[in-house]
Structure formats: structure tokens, C-alpha cells
Amino acid sequence: MENLNQKLAKGSGLSLLLMALLAGLAYGYILMQFGTVETALSWPDQQAASSLFALGIISWFTILALDLFLSYAFYRLYPSKLGRLSALMRLIYSLVLGWALISLVKAFYSLGDHTGLSAVSAHIETFNNIWSQGLIIFGVHLFLLAALVPLKWLKVLLGLAGISYTIVHAGLNYWPEANTIFQSLETALALPMALGELSFALVLLFKPVLLFPKLSR
């Protein structure tokens, strides 16, 4: 019979995979349909547009709930000071994401009015800006997490992902004159940024004992 930490490890892996799918839907597809006034106006059926945007918001709040669960799970699974600090960084990131989501809710309520489409674009931009600042903290969380895992190859992937998130989003937020460079860097580092956490998710889900040998006892 699995103990609590075994369930938390596998639940964390499943949560990370589900979050990746939801982020692909909510950010990679839905937000791209509403990022500018022109794209929002391209929807002939405003009811369909509102329904799609609502699905995106539901997906984001599900991601937020999973992030809060992961903050707790990592706090339990890594009881060291470094582990607790890593969990705290994820919790702070989650709170920043929650703050950013307020702007998406405001964007949703601006969708029904054509005169408010510029507000939709502005609210989405605000969401992106706040979330991007949160991703700096998320990168720190991943970097700290890398120091905790015993598998060298996973340590490298998580460390690279953490450094990538922090450098890219710090540059986007605090070096605006070089935004083109950091946007290109984000595109180039998209694979390692995703690969680190996805690899961690798969190990948690299918072979958690490789990360937590005590789970086998």
C-alpha cells in the first residue's frame, strides 16, 4: 500500500503533465486568438469567442490549483531547508500567477463589447507582463530543485531550464531595449525549458524511487 509521500510523488508527476497540456491549450492556442484587437475582431461569433476565452480562464485556474498542490507536495517531499526554499519559490510564483489571472478575468468581461476590444488586448498584455515576472521566480524554483535531485542528467536539465527561465524573463522585464534578443533566446531555449520539467514529471510518475530512495522502504 502506498504511503502519503509515494502518492504525493506520483500525484506531482501527473499534475506536471496535466499542467503542460493545459498550458498548451490556454496559452499556446487560446490566448493567441485574442492577443490583439485585430485577432479578437476576427471572431464573427462573439458567443463562441466568449466560450473559448472562458475555457482558457478555467484552464488557467486549474493550472493555478495544481501549482498550489505542487508547492505543498514539494514542501513535504523535500524537508531540507533548500527543499523548503524551493517550495516557497513555487508558492510565490503561484501567487503571482493568481494576481496575473485577475487581468484575464477583466479581459473576459470586456469581450462582449466591441468598443472594449482594445481593453481586451490591454488586459492580456498586463497578464503576460505579470506572469513573465513570476516566471523569473519560477526559474529560481527549478534551479533550486535541480540541486535536490540525485540523478545527474535530470539535475542538468532542471538547472538549464531554471537558468533559462530566469535569464529570459529577467531580460524581457528589465532590459526592454534588448527585447528582440531575449525573445529570440526564449524561442531557442523553449525545448530545454520544457524538457527539464517534463522529464522530472515522468520520473516522478513512473519511477519516484529514483528521486526518493526512502519511498521503497
Q: What is the pLDDT of residue 1?
A: 42
- Angle (deg, nearest 10), helices 117-148 and 152-174: 150
The Cα–Cα gap between 192 and 162 comes to: 10
CA angle 149, 135, 100 (to 5 degrees): 135
Q: What is the pLDDT of residue 55?
A: 94
Tens-digit pLDDT string for the chain (217 aa): 458 888 999 999 999 999 999 999 999 888 887 765 556 556 666 777 788 889 999 999 999 999 999 999 999 999 999 999 999 999 999 999 999 999 999 988 887 665 556 788 888 999 999 999 999 999 999 999 999 999 999 999 999 999 999 999 999 899 887 778 878 878 888 887 888 999 999 999 999 988 987 765 5
Give me 106's grid cell.
477583466
- On whether the CB atoms of residues 121 and 35 are closer than 8 A, the answer is yes
- On whether the CB atoms of residues 155 and 146 are closer than 8 A, the answer is yes
The Cα–Cα gap between 175 and 84 comes to: 31
Backbone φ and ψ of 6, nearest 5°: -65, -45
Q: What is the pLDDT of residue 43?
A: 62
Q: What is the pLDDT of residue 217?
A: 54
Nearest to 191 by CA among 163, 153, 171, 161: 161
Q: What is the pLDDT of residue 34?
A: 75
The Cα–Cα gap between 155 and 145 comes to: 8
DSSP line for 65-118: HHHHHHHHHHHHH--SHHHHHHHHHHHHHHHHHHHHHHHHHHHHHHTT-GGGHH
The Cα–Cα gap between 103 and 19 comes to: 20
